[in-house]
Amino acid sequence: MDTHQKALVMKFGGTSVGTIPAMQQAVKIVCDTCRDWPRLIVVTSALSGVTDALTKSAVRAARGDLAPYFETAQMLSTRHHELANALVADLARRSQVHQEVDHLISDFSNLCQAIHVLGEASPRALDAVTGLGERLSVRVLAAAIESTSKHAQFVDSTQLIQTDDHFTNAAPDMTATIKRCREVLNPILQSGSIPVVTGFIGATSSGAPTTLGRGGSDYSASILAVALEADEVWIWTDVDGVMTADPRIVKEARTIPEISFREVAEMAYFGAKVLHPKSIHPVIESGIQLRVCNTFNPDHPGTRLVADRDSNGIGKVKAIAAIRGLQLVTVAGTGMMGVPGIAGRIFSAVASAGISVPLIIQSTSEQRVCFAVPGDRVEEVTYVLQTNFRDEFQRGDIDQVMTSEDVGVMTVICPGIHAIPGIAGQIFTTLGESSINILGITFGTSEISINLILNAQDLDPAVRSLHKLIPG
């Protein structure tokens, strides 16, 4: 690699390419940026809403319902053809894009028909379906960039990112991936062309398509940046960087100019629409700079992610995130007291069903364990626990498994909250003055946050109330 030429990876999210004006703006950003960055790699998500529609189509097809598949196929054709018609000037190139789009939609149709016949949407089949969104968008975006007289070439990341076979949440084999990325992308870059790469997807060593799970396209950008020893990663989205709160809840929410990796990871884990912790891990380790920008306001500086923050802002509320759609599950019984490994068995049973537990509370008496799970998985959790602890229920060691009404978890990011007296008290006082009841409290292990469990209807008012504590 030419170490004298700086390299930048830019990733565009679904809303940044999902409409004709949005993709026009993304193309303009690419063209403006390539003047200053001789080695520019573009990563794209599927068009906004496409991945959800693909997933729904596959799941419903497995249940015998092909209506969503027909609707999705029509939607895919309409949206991608309209984009190509508007943004690809050369008629021959436009016709080629139309043919490629139609071929991929035909693949989608065949996959859904096969899932329908089998009556099962296996993780492997789901990955084959859900990864089609990026494979469609990358062809249109690359052709749109070419229409500006820039040289661009779309690249399917199944050629680049080699993963394990943990379908729907695959992990990259970085040694193989680095080798592939340099072999495929360096010649494109050296020719003066811009590689436009599919986010979200990879492939096993045998070539089976996989997806990288939540935050997959951001993760793809980070992986490519590490593989090519890039200087920076810019994530283009539809907001001015990382916000102090969800602007849909708090109209006064504002951009955080600089945030640490630990802080943004805590926010993402508890519901904030920012970078997923997994997606930023590779760049953290490699010391690559990362920036979150707004496609629709490209002159805004956005948010820069840094390894650690200095002492400025210590002891002050910095941001608030919220995750909703949860319910509390409580396992209670006097026979649990002092029994080694009981908590481990509970969470192993829940994990065996593939259910994530974002928050855990255990009473000091060891007579009850309480934890949060997604509300749509509560019945499954209850069944798994009753099955795995059948003997304990029969002996009376465990009395019951209780579930709550819908709750939410609000995470308050405040560096120094563990060490500086009075901060937690200020938070509780503010909520008390707003007549908001707290159901449970846990402190983040990162020492920069406190997590509060609230009734679902109290979540938005609580976020608005505590946002007033953030310095202006």
The arithmetic mean of pLDDT across residues 351-361, rounded, is 84
**What does pLDDT average to over the chain?**
90
What is the C-alpha R_g of the chain? 24
Indicate if 46 and 181 belong to the same structural domain. Answer: yes
Band (363; pLDDT cuts 50, 70, 90)? low
Q: Which of 263, 265, 269 is nearest to 281 (CA)?
A: 265
Q: Looking at beta carbons, which pairs linking 289-292 to residues 24 or more positions away fall under 8 Å?
A: 289/231, 289/232, 289/233, 290/222, 290/232, 290/233, 290/234, 290/235, 291/232, 291/233, 291/234, 291/235, 291/241, 292/234, 292/235, 292/237, 292/241, 292/242
Q: How far apart are CA 47 and CA 132, in angstroms?
A: 11
Q: In this model, does residue 2 exceed pLDDT 60?
A: no
Band (342; pLDDT cuts 50, 70, 90)? confident
Residue 89 lies in a domain: yes
Indicate if 232 and 325 belong to the same structural domain. Answer: no
Residue 391 lies in a domain: yes
Q: In this model, does residue 274 exceed pLDDT 80?
A: no
Find the range with the poorest average confidence among 396-405, 422-431, 444-453. Answer: 444-453
Q: If DSSP codes are grouped into helix, strand and coil, which group holds residue 284? A: helix
Band (269; pLDDT cuts 50, 70, 90)? low
Q: What is the CATH number of the domain that holds 192?
A: 3.40.1160.10
Structural domain harbouring 123: 7-238
Indicate if 328 and 417 belong to the same structural domain. Answer: yes
Residue 232 lies in a domain: yes
Residue 293 lies in a domain: no
Residue type, 157: S
Domain boundary among 173, 208, 238: 238
Task: Please say whether the beta carbons of 240 and 233 come within 8 A.
Answer: no
Residue 448 lies in a domain: yes
Tell me the helices (H) and strands (E) count for the chain, helix number first: 16, 16
Residue with tokens 């608005």: 464
> pLDDT value at position 1?
43
> pLDDT value at position 445?
61
> pLDDT value at position 173?
97
Indicate if 352 and 452 belong to the same structural domain. Answer: yes
Domain boundary among 238, 262, 287: 238
The arithmetic mean of pLDDT across residues 154-179, rounded, is 96
The arithmetic mean of pLDDT across residues 190-197, rounded, is 97
The arithmetic mean of pLDDT across residues 161-190, rounded, is 96
Neighbours of 337 (CB within 10 A): 13
Q: In the numeric block, which tokens belong to residue 27?
A: 């193309």
pLDDT tens digits, one per residue of 232-264: 999 999 989 999 998 889 999 999 999 888 888
CA atoms within 13 A on the CB side of 241: 19
7-12 vs 39-44, strand pairing mode: parallel
Task: Please say whether the beta carbons of 281 and 215 come within 8 A.
Answer: no
Q: How far apart are CA 277 and CA 261, in angstroms?
A: 8
> pLDDT value at position 308?
67
Neighbours of 365 (CB within 10 A): 10
> pLDDT value at position 448?
86
Residue 291 lies in a domain: no
Most confident range (mean pLDDT) of 171-180, 283-292, 365-374 is 171-180
Q: What is the CATH number of the domain that holds 461?
A: 3.30.2130.10
232-237 vs 39-44, strand pairing mode: unpaired
The full DSSP string for 98-161 is: HHHHHHHHHHHHHHHHHHHHHT---HHHHHHHHTHHHHHHHHHHHHHHHTTT--EEEE-GGGT-
Q: In the numeric block, which tokens belong to residue 373?
A: 């799970």
pLDDT tens digits, one per residue of 65-123: 999 999 999 999 999 999 999 999 999 999 999 999 999 999 999 999 999 999 999 99
Task: Please say whether the beta carbons of 8 and 37 come within 8 A.
Answer: yes
The arithmetic mean of pLDDT across residues 418-428, rounded, is 85
Q: How far apart are CA 236 and CA 396, in angstroms?
A: 55
pLDDT tens digits, one per residue of 325-340: 999 999 988 877 777 7
Burial of 250 (0-12, 13-18, 19+ CB in 10 A): buried
Residue 94 lies in a domain: yes
Q: Identify the residue with better confidence: 365 or 265.
A: 265
Which element (helix H / strand E) includes 388? Answer: helix 378-388
- As a three-state string, the secondary structure of 403-454 is EEEEEEEEEEECCCCCCCCCHHHHHHHHHHHCCCCEEEEEECCCCCEEEEEE
pLDDT tens digits, one per residue of 44-64: 999 999 999 999 999 999 999
Band (29; pLDDT cuts 50, 70, 90)? very high
Residue with tokens 């026009």: 24
Q: In the numeric block, which tokens belong to residue 301?
A: 């500086």
> pLDDT value at position 362?
67
Domain boundary among 204, 238, 272: 238
> pLDDT value at position 272?
62
The arithmetic mean of pLDDT across residues 198-212, rounded, is 96
> pLDDT value at position 72?
97
> pLDDT value at position 366?
61
Q: In the numeric block, which tokens belong to residue 108?
A: 């989608």
Band (311; pLDDT cuts 50, 70, 90)? very low
Q: How far apart are CA 218 and CA 290, in angstroms?
A: 11
Indicate if 231 and 334 belong to the same structural domain. Answer: no
> pLDDT value at position 313?
60
Query: Structural domain tally of the chain?
Result: 2
Indicate if 98 and 234 belong to the same structural domain. Answer: yes
Indicate if 354 and 223 belong to the same structural domain. Answer: no
Residue 250 lies in a domain: no
